[in-house]
Amino acid sequence: MKRSIVGIILILLLTSYVHAEPEAGTKDYYADGWQISYSTLVVIVALNRDGTANKSIPGLPGSVKGTWEVTSGEALITWSDGWRDKIRADLANWAYAPGASLEKPPANKGVAKKDPKYFYTGGWDISYNIGLVNFMLNDDMTAIKSVPGVADIIKGHWEIKSGEVLITWDDGWRDRIRADLQNWAYAPGASMDQPPANRGKANRK
């Protein structure tokens, strides 16, 4: 009897896990971080749930902004530089040059890989009442913190926990970029169960 109950519980847990993954081809499915790999280039794409998008190249500063929508089960992204991307259901990415027709073959074809870490990879501006702090979250999970006008930088590492980014810096400070894009900063030795020392707004660079 006990084995039967345990078996039923395991089945229910597995079923809930399977159902947790959004249905392919939907907005919930595409709203995530993506790595687009071409033969000579890797591009990081973040598709936000509000229909905005960000594109960056690891190692290069700044990002390109855009908008996206789901069309016929594919994510169609329109970038501010004129390029357009289609993440297809087969996880191929087709890139179209500015002004090119989507009915024609794409200028570039790549492979799209979905991973939550790519949603956060790239540069961030953290706005506090006292000023601005810059974060760079690298795809190897290392991080760099800098203050505009100050030469020194602080290194650290980051991870994703419970849908939030946790950054641990070499100077002992810790930061949390929350799902609502608020940044909470904790002083060295402070408990993360307590209110943060500083709160700011996290904006992609």
Q: 131 and 110 share a domain?
A: no
Q: 39 and 112 share a domain?
A: yes
pLDDT value of residue 14? 42
- Residue 66 three-state SS: strand
Is there a domain that residue 13 lies in? no
Is there a domain that residue 11 lies in? no
Domain coverage including residue 95:
27-116
Taking only the tens of pLDDT, the chain with its 205 residues reads 555 554 554 444 444 434 456 788 899 999 999 999 999 999 999 998 899 999 988 777 778 999 999 999 999 999 999 999 999 999 999 999 999 999 999 999 999 999 888 889 888 999 988 789 999 999 899 999 998 778 889 999 999 998 899 999 999 999 999 988 899 999 999 999 999 999 999 988 8
Of 84, 116, 148, which residue sits at a domain end? 116
Q: 137 and 200 share a domain?
A: yes
Beta strands in 48-197, from DSSP E residues, in sequence order: 52-56, 64-71, 74-79, 84-87, 92-96, 108-114, 122-128, 131-137, 142-146, 153-161, 164-169, 174-177, 182-186
Q: 46 and 69 share a domain?
A: yes
Number of structural domains (the chain) is 2
Is there a domain that residue 4 lies in? no
pLDDT value of residue 150? 80
Residues 183, 168 contacting (CB under 8 angstroms): no
Q: 147 and 184 share a domain?
A: yes
The CATH number covering residue 171 comes to 2.40.128.640
Helices (H), the chain: 2-20, 27-30, 117-120
- Residue 8 three-state SS: helix
Structure tokens at 121: 């990879």
What is the residue-wise DSSP string for 9-44? HHHHHHHHHHHHSPPTTSHHHHSSEEEEE-SS-EEE
